[in-house]
Amino acid sequence: MKGRTRAKTQTKALFALGGIAVIFMILLCLPENISRHTHHAHPSNATLDPFTVAGTENWTLPLPLSPLTPGAMALTCMAIQHRAGHTHKHADYYAVDQSFVDPTGEEKVLTYSLAAASVVGLAESLLEVFTAYGLARQEGRRFVIDDAGWEWGAWDDYFLSSSDTDAGEGSLPCPRSVRRLSVAHSTRGWIFGHAFTEHFESPRERGSRRQKRVFSLARTGYEALLRVRPALAARVGKRVEALKAEAGDGGWVGIQVRRGDYKPRTWQWLKGTGVQLDAVADVAAALSDGRGRVVVMSDDRDVVTAPELAGSLAAVEGGAGLLEGGYTRGGLLKLGGRERREVAERWLEEILVMRELVGAGTIDEGGVVCGGASATCRLLAVMLGWDMGVINERWRDVDGGIGWSGVDW
C-alpha cells in the first residue's frame, strides 16, 4: 500500500510539473511587456501624505498596503502638489525633485488602473490606456493593466492580453518620477496634462500636426493592445464581408455621430441635438467622391436611418446595445453588468468594422467624418494612422475643426 501511495504521489507531482511547464510555455508566447492583473485586496481610500525623512531634508511617501482608490490617488497627487508650493506653476515634465526618496523599488513599471469614480466611456478609457502604454514603452517601463473595479467588467472579457501575478503593488500615483507609477483616469491631469502637452507637442506646427508625438504614443498602444477575442473578431469579419458584398471593395468613408450627453464645440449646435447631420453628410460626400461606400456608427439608432444620411449603411445592424437617445453617464450607471457589456461589445464591433472598411482602399480613398469632442472620433483617427488621417486629411473634425487631440484632461 505504501508503494502504491508513493507512486500516486509521484504521478501527481509529474502532472503538476507538466502543468507548470505548459503554463510557462504559454506565457513565453504572449506579448512582451504587457501584463494584466486584477487585485483582490480591498482598495485603500487613505490619502498618502508626504513626510520628511528623519534626520534629513528629504521627503518621501508611505507605500499603500493595498491599491489606492481613484479618489485617494488624486488626493495624494494634490497633497504632493501643494507640498511643492507651486499649485499653478508648471515644471518640466521630466523634472525630478532631488529631495524625494523613492520607496517603490528598482524595477520601472507603469500600472494603468481602469477603476474610476464613475463610468468612463470606453473610447476615453482606451485612449488613456493606449497613451499610457506608449509612454511606458518610451520610458522603458513594464506595462500593467489593472482592471479591478472597472465598470465595464474585465479586460479579458473583450481583449487578448497576458496575465501576471504582479499587480505593480507598492506603486505610487505621484510624483511622476517614481519607478513604480500608478496611472488612472482620476490622475490624468498630472500624467497627461499641461506639462505633458508642453513637452510632447511640436510648437512650430499648427493644428493636428502639433500633436504628432502624442499621436505616436497612442498609436503604439493601439497597435499593441487592441486585439479582441475571437468571437468578436469573427462577428466583425462577417459584417465587413456583408457590407463589401453590398457596396463593393475599396476605401469607405466612415461617419461617427455621438448623441447622448455629447457637448458640441460649435456654439450654434449647443442648444440643438449636437452635430448636424447635413454638415456631416456634406463632408462625407466630398471624401467619398461619388463612390457611395459610406458606413455609419452612432449611439443613437435614429442617426443611421436619418434622411440626411440616406444611402449610407449601418456598421452594425439592429438596436442591441443601444440606449434611447444615445449613451449618457447616468444611463450607463443604471445598467447591470451584462447590459453594460452588451453596450461595450456593440461599440467595439462598430468601431472595428469602421476600421476594416475605411482602411481598405488607397491612402487617398476613404476616411472618417466625426465630431472631435468625441473620444471615439479621436480614437478613429488613431486607427487611420498619422499619414492617412492627418497628413492626407482623411480624418475630418466637423465640430469646431480644432483638430486632433489625445487624452481629454
Task: Enumerate domains of the chain plus CATH numbers.
Answer: 34-222 (no CATH), 230-397 (3.40.50)
Q: What is the pLDDT of residues 109-132, one digit of tens each?
A: 999 999 999 999 999 999 999 999
Q: What are φ and ψ of residue 108, in 5° steps? A: -90, 120
pLDDT exceeds cutoff 70 at 216? yes
Q: What is the pLDDT of residues 220-256, one digit of tens each?
A: 999 999 999 999 999 999 999 999 999 988 889 999 9
Q: What is the pLDDT of residues 321-362, one digit of tens each?
A: 898 889 999 999 999 999 999 999 999 999 999 999 998 877
Q: Name the band, by pLDDT with cuts 50, 70 and 90, for residue 20.
A: very low
**End-to-end CA gap in the chain:** 69
Q: What are φ and ψ of residue 34, in 5° steps? A: -125, 120
pLDDT at 359: 81
Which residues make Cβ contacts (< 8 Å) with residue 4, sequence separation at least 6?
none
**Cα–Cα distance, 399 to 371 (Å, whole number):** 5
Q: Do residues 388 and 355 lie in contact, with contact meaning Cβ atoms separated by under 8 Å?
A: no
What is the biggest distance separating any 2 CA atoms in the chain, rounded to whole angstroms? 87
Q: What is the pLDDT of residues 71-105, one digit of tens each?
A: 999 999 999 998 876 545 567 999 999 999 999 99
C-alpha cell at 358: 475605411
**Cα–Cα distance, 277 to 281 (Å, whole number):** 6
Alpha carbon separation from 19 to 25, 26, 29, 161, 163 (Å, rounded): 10, 11, 16, 20, 16
C-alpha cell at 136: 511606458
Average pLDDT of the chain, as a whole number: 87
In this prediction the pTM is 0.88
DSSP assignment of 43-87:
PB------EEPTTSS-EE-PPPSSPBPHHHHHHHHHHHHHHHT-T
Which residues make Cβ contacts (< 8 Å) with residue 169, sequence separation at least 6?
39, 67
Q: Name the band, by pLDDT with cuts 50, 70 and 90, for residue 42.
A: confident
User: Considering the chain, what percentage of its residues have pLDDT values greater than 90?
Assistant: 72
**C-alpha 150: how far from chain center:** 12
Q: Do residues 375 and 263 lie in contact, with contact meaning Cβ atoms separated by under 8 Å?
A: no
Q: What is the pLDDT of residues 147-160, one digit of tens each?
A: 999 999 999 999 99
pLDDT at 23: 31
pLDDT exceeds cutoff 60 at 24? no
Q: What are φ and ψ of residue 110, in 5° steps? A: -120, 115
Buried b (16+ CB within 10 A) or exposed e, 33-56: ebbbbbbeeebeeeebebeeeeee
**Cα–Cα distance, 132 to 33 (Å, whole number):** 13
Residue 333, phi-psi category: left (phi > 0), alpha (psi -120 to 50), beta (remainder): alpha
